[in-house]
């Protein structure tokens, strides 16, 4: 998997080429059977610092693109999680209840947050690609 990296204050952040992004620093996987996986980017976890608490919606919850659907808290601050697109929550990563710092150590793999069954798969192509997201964080 080719990765793009950006340097921010001497630290390199990974931006995988095969994912989509939002301006709120979330990543969205390619849909598989109509379901996308969602998390926050490497850049976002680094900016937040040590993540100590995550609040996410339960499976079955219907979400609308742009609405606040959860929270992620670090030792020093709280950030909202936004629905990157409309659909229904298919799964949430329950391991984050006990080990929210997984988001720090593995933001794109074990630290995923939600699976969302998309209302309209065309919405995915409207999200930022890796190049556009990299520009946004420069």
Partner 1 sequence: MTETSQPIQSPLRDRHDALGAKFAEFGGWLMPLEYGGGGVVAEHTAVREAVGLFDVSHLGKIDVSGPGAADFVNDRLSNDLRRIAPGKAQYTLCCDDSGGVVDDLIAYLYGPDRVFLVPNAANNAEVAARLAAEAPADVAVTDEHRDHAVLALQGPHSARVLADLGVPADHEYMSFVTAECAGTSIVACRTGYTGEHGYELLVPADAAGAVWDALMTAGAPHGIRPAGLGARDTLRTEMGYPLHGHELSMEITPVQARAGWAVGWRKPHFWGRDALTEEKATGPRRRLWGLEATGRGIPRADMTVRSGDTVVGTTTSGTFSPTRKIGIALALIDTAAGVDEGTELSVDVRGRALPVKVVKPPFVTPSVK
Task: List interacting residues with partner 1 (CB under 8 A).
Answer: 9-11, 49-50, 52-53, 55, 71, 73-76, 78, 97, 101, 104
* Least distance in angstroms from the C-beta of 79 to partner 1: 12
Closest to partner 1 by CB, 52 or 136: 52
Please say which residue, 51 or 130, places its beta carbon nearer to partner 1. Answer: 51
Residue-wise DSSP of 16-75:
ETT-EE-TTSEEEPPPBTTEEEEEE-HHHHHHH-SEEEEE-PPTT-EE-TT-EEEEEEES
DSSP state of 128: B
Structure tokens at 82: 């936004």
- Write down the least CB distance from residue 53 to partner 1, Å: 5
């Amino acid at each position: 998997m080719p990765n793009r990296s950006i340097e921010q204050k001497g630290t390199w952040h990974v931006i995988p080429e095969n994912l989509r992004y939002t301006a709120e620093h979330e990543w969205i996987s390619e849909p598989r059977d109509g379901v996308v996986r969602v998390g926050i980017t490497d850049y976002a976890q680094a900016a937040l610092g040590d993540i100590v608490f995550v609040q996410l919606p339960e499976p079955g919850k219907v979400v609308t693109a742009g609405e606040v659907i959860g929270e992620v808290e670090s030792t020093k601050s709280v950030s909202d999680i936004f629905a990157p697109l409309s659909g229904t929550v298919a799964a949430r990563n329950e391991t984050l209840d006990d080990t929210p710092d997984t988001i720090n150590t593995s933001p794109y793999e074990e630290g995923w947050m939600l699976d969302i069954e998309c209302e309209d798969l065309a919405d995915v192509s409207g999200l930022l690609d890796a190049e556009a997201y990299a520009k946004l964080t420069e």
